[in-house]
Structures are given as C-alpha cells and as structure tokens.
Structure 1
Amino acid sequence: MKNRLNRRQFLAVSAAVSAPLFLPGRVLGLDKGVSPNNKLVTAFIGLGNRGSENLGAFLGNQEFQVVAVCDCYDKHSRVAKERVDNRYNNKDCKIISKYEDVLARGDIDVVEISTPDHWHTKISVEACKAGKDVYCEKPLTLTLAEGKQIVAGARKYDRVCTSGSQRVMEDYGYMAPVVQSGTIGEVKEVLVGVGSPPKPCYFPEEPLPEGLDWDRWLGQAPWAPYSEERMSGNYGGGWRRFEDYCGGFLADWGAHKFGGVMYALGLDDTGPTEILPPGVDGQFATAIFKNGIKMRHGGGDITFIGTEREYKHNVDRDLKPIKTVDVRRYSGGATNLLADFAYCVRNRIRPFQDFEYGARTAAVCQLFNICYKLNRPLKWDPDNTCFIDDEQANRMVSRPQRSPYGIEV
C-alpha cells in the first residue's frame, strides 16, 4: 500500500477539513508509527454483552479509532456511543442502525462484528466485499457451508480477517511446543470438556421493546416471536442455547478449547475425517483425524494423552518442550489477539486467528452437533466440505436462510 497522497486523495482530504480529523489508514498509508491521523478507523456492529466487552478493548488500544456503532437495538447503540464519546472527549461517534450503511462509508478501515453467531458470516462476507478488514467474534460460523463461504470471502476480496478467540494462544498456546516437541510421546487422544449441543427454542410472544428491529435481529433464522430470553446475550443462557442462532455451549466454548487443541496438535488447518457418537469408541463423542488422533468431547478441561504421559491444562504447567520446535505465534511481537490483528492489518498478512482457523474450529463443533442429532458414525471430507456417501448428513451442511438475509460471496 502506497504511503503518498495522490492528487485526488489530497483534494478529498482538503475538502473534508471540517470533518473529524481521523482519516482512514488507507488514505494516509499504514506506516509503523501511530499518529492521531493514522488510526485504523473502526466501526462496531453488534453491541450486546460481548460487543460491549470488545468495545472496551478497542477503545483502550491506540491503533484504533472507533467512529461508528451499529446495533438493531437502539438502546445498545446509545450506550455504546456514550462510551466512545467519553473516551475521546467529543461527540463524534455516529449511531448507524443498519450495517449496510456502515459498510458503505468510505472512511472505515475495520469492522468489529459481535452479533449473535447466525449473523457472523453474512456481515463478514459483505464487509470483505466492501473493502473492510474484519474482526469477528467466535464461534465464527453457524453452519459447515458458512465456513467455506466466510473463508472464500476473505480470500476473494483479499482482506485481513481474524476470528475472535483470544484463548487459543493466550490460555492454551503454551501447550503447543510441549506437545509438538514430543515431551509426552506420540499423542493418541485428547479429552476436551465443553458444554452441550443447542436445543430448540419455544417461548410465548412478549411485547417488543421500543427501538428494536426484531426482524433484523432474527436475520436468516426462521421467524419467531420476540421474547427477552430468546434475545438475551447472557453467557449462561439466552440465544447461545438455541439451535436457530448458534451451536450451543458446545460451540461457544468449543471455539476456544477445540481451537486450542487443534493448534497444539498442528491440525488447525484441517479437520477430522470421522465423527463417532457416544458409545461407539468409549463413552464420549469422538472426532478422529486422518493421522489417527482422537479428540473427544468430554472428560474435564483439556487433557492430552500421549504414549509417555498425560498433559493437563493448568495442572502440568512445569512441563517443558524437550527440543525447539517452530510453532505459529502472534506476529510483530504482539502479546494479545487485538494487537496481532492490528499488526497484520498494517502489514497485510494473515493473522494468528485467520478465518481459515476459526472456520475449521467451528466446523468441529458443527460436526459434533450433527453427530449427536443423527446418533450414528459419520465420515467427513474436510477439504470438500461434505459427508461421504451420506445424503441425510449432507442436508445438514447448510440451512434454509430466510429472505432477504441469504449469504452470497
């Protein structure tokens, strides 16, 4: 990306002197230093529980300047705008009710997406198409088909896109050199304790809150009446439990833990080839990779079982690698996911949690959920995103999408 202003850019800048003086990085060039006029101009889409937390992280990072907030519930947007304005000591943050209008703004470099899971892929793909770089919360996708779409969007439009699991590196990353160096011998299986699959949602209709666009909140999901619990972003309940909007707590924490395990094994760029329900190969549902390693849903936190010994997360912290191994890390000396993303945006390289990794991890969660539902062994082709000789299972790779909320890359 060039660092000089051409004549057209100069005239555009000169004509805009009355606007807030935070010009997008694409205008001024993404240099190493961060001056007040060289921020990554950022908009937030989705400002419930997690979006509000992420907003705090972005406001505390000098690389970013938040200029707009967007939510289908006006109450969330107003609270977010107040926080942004207080942080920057001005009144410049704009409330935008529809994400399409965010993406149409030419001054936006980055969009942060913290909507419920069923919106992640559509907004991410359209953001890439609009020339934005994307930070999207985990779990990255709702369906197996969406995993293919969201990666295709990032690649087709050449955008820097990160999935939002900080725990893969910051909680579990220390385990990767130990596992890959052979300290515990050859890994045979891993026990991963996360929550349960999602379930259907049935609630009676409640009065619609003022300022809520309920049809837009539902998005691609089937129409259903409003209820406070259905919409709630409560980490212990709400929409995270229901299959129309997410993969249940299996996916909510699986995006962290399965992702951490696959990273430690060096398998986060692929997927399992077999998925077995409980009772077929032991008491837990099991994903089997091409190299024979078994990743089981159950058994506590995270436990690697090797030929030499077991290795438990947060228990065996004193265990060290027996040799130096080259494992993927955050770029540019970054110590957290957001800093890694900022560095990669500026240097136009793929981040640690590039959409490919986020989609592969989400796929494991989706495969487990389909296996639980069908309650029989499945064979999966991770390269072609399909089940092998299984018409019934292949019908679950994607879902019907309510108009006009379909996804197109």
Structure 2
Amino acid sequence: MTNLLSRSKLPTTLSYVAVLAIVVLWLLPLVFQQAPNRLVQSTVTGLLVGGIYALIALGIVVINKASGVFNFAHGGLMMVAGFMFFSFFTTSSISLPFAVLFSLATVALAITTPGWRNTLRSPTLLVGGIVAVVVLSAVLGLGGSELKWIRAIVGATMGAVLLGLAVERFTIRPLIGQPLFASVMVTLAVSLVLNGTTQLLWGSQPNSLLIFTEINPIGLEVKASSLRFDTTALLGGNISIERTRLYAFGLALVAFAGFWLFFRYTTVGLAMRAISENQILAQSMGMRVRMILAVAWGIAALLAGAAGVLQGGATSLDTNMQFLALRAFPAVLLGGIESIPGALVGGLAIGLTEEYSKLLFSGDVGEQLAPYVVLMVVLVLRPEGLFGQKRIDRI
C-alpha cells in the first residue's frame, strides 16, 4: 500500500520540479542582467531584513515547540511591546502609582504560575515577589532623559512578559487538553484585541523610534546613517548597509544560538518538546505543564518585543507592524514549524526572495507574492519544511 501511495505522488512531484526548473531558467537571465553592485546590495539587504523575519519566526517556533499552537497573536505582541518601549523611552518620568501597579501585575502573574495556592504556601515566593515589586517600581520611577534606556528596556521587558503570561494564563491554559484548533483560533482573537487596544492607547499614526542615532553637523540627534562602502572599482557602484538592520541581524544570531542550546541541553527545553507531543500524557507523568507553557509564552513575548523594537527603530512604529508577522509565517513553514535552525534559514531565505523580486519586478506586487510562491512550491515538494521532521502516527 505504501509503495502504491509513493508511486501516485511521484508524477505530481516531478511535475512541480519541472515547473520550478522552467521558472528558474526564465529568471536567471533577468538576474544576471542586473549590475553587480545591485545584486550584492540586494543580497546584503535581503540577509539583514531576513534577520528580523528570523527573529519573529523564532518566537512562533518557541510556542509551537512547547504547545503545538501556531500563534497568530505574535504580531500583536510584537506591536504592543514596541509601543511600550516607545512610551517608556520618550517619557521623562513615570508616576509612582503606575509603576507600582505595573510591577505588581507582572510579578503577580509570574509568581502565581504554579497556582495561587502553591504561591500562598511558599513564604520565599511571597517575600521575593514583594522585593521584586519594590525594585522594579524604583527602576521605572527613575526620571530624566539620561536614564531613558534603562527605564525603556526594563519597562518593555516587563510589559512583554506580562502580555505573554496573561495570554497563556487566561486564554491558552483553560484549553489544555482541548483540540489545538481551539487554541489557534483564540490566538487569532487575541491578535484582534491587541490591535484594537493599541489603536485606542497610541492611535494609528506612525511614531519615530530614535534608538540608533547620531549627532548631525548642527547638533541635532537624528537617525543613524547607513554605512557606505566604495566598491565602484570592483562592482561598478557603492554598497550601503543600514546599521539598524545590522544590529537586528546580530541579535538574531545570538538569540538563535542561545535558544538552540536551551532546547537541546536544558531540562526546561526538553520538557517543552515533550509537552508539545502530548500535554495530557506529560502532565500525568509529573511534568509541570502549566509552568513550562508559561515560560514558553514569556520567552516568545520577549522575542516578539525585541523584534518590535528593532523594526520600529529601523522604520517606524505603527499598527501595521503586526502584519510583519504574516511575512514571517512563510519563514516558519519554509524552515519547519518546530525547527529553530529552520526558522533562521527560512527568515534569511524570505528576506533574500523579497529583495531579489524587487530587481525583477516593478512595484510591490512581486515583493509581496514571491515569498508565498516559494513557500507553496517548497511545501508541495516537502510538506514538513526544509528542516522539519516527518510525523508517523501509529494506529
């Protein structure tokens, strides 16, 4: 029976391979007609843009590896965390009542992850929570523009963790043991709620986030200029690199290395992989499913926040930022929905695809369609993604 199924799929696979070969042969002459400096510039820019996509994809993969849920709210988390950073960064001082309430909410959700009863029975957790609230409130209350970086980083980190834990606690945790489709639809609803809340609190107009700056000749702080390299003699033109994209790419590499080690060698990382296979079975074997899921959502929210801040610094902050996650979905599926290295490769591949499409097609249509065309072809030929593993279900 298996041989018959394999033979039936063979003609379809060969047909797609033939179509792909024809498309490649059609596009290659168009690519090589471009000036060398434009090809190199597109390659460099594509890799740097792909770093943002990869960072977004990593957060989606973390949630999927821990719970098996494809998180449609990731773009919303990225957007809200970015606006939180903007507020703390541009505000000269934070009122003490707000700082205390904000710190209390974050710490309360963190220490009650095992359950309220377990927390109340642990004096160590209660004392540690009180100390954390005092320290965090003091940090948020720091005034003056010279301390805006500390205030913004701490505040945005707290906000991202608070969002991630709240989504897990009130929407995902009640659905443990239920069909995954229910959890996926809940994340879609959360995304809509976050979008509406962002427009209510911050409006829909773009905001400039000047986190990578320099002083211009007249003494004003402006966005950092690009690095420019004179390659006219070699490539027939100059090459420029955006510093913000370069920083994002470096952060993506560090994050991927850290989380690859985390999932491969730590007890919590291995537990996340076990829980993603079967939450009920993992819980019956004594694994702390609630704690592991909360940690995963907190980590994913932090990654979303980092991507939101970096993207906001590179371009601007607005409510359309959440749709950047839709551009990262092909990166997740292309690399493999549970593969951390696959998220990196998928993000870089999508970034390169978008930049090369700008060379070949006028307007934004090619840039918007090309990643999804590549995704469709790859999934037809290899449904589990480039680095994904085939699942075998025993009956």
Report the TM-score, using the length of structure 2 for normalisation. 0.29
Query: Which one has the bigger strand percentage?
Result: 1
Q: Which has the larger radius of gyration?
A: 2
Query: Which one has the bigger helix percentage?
Result: 2
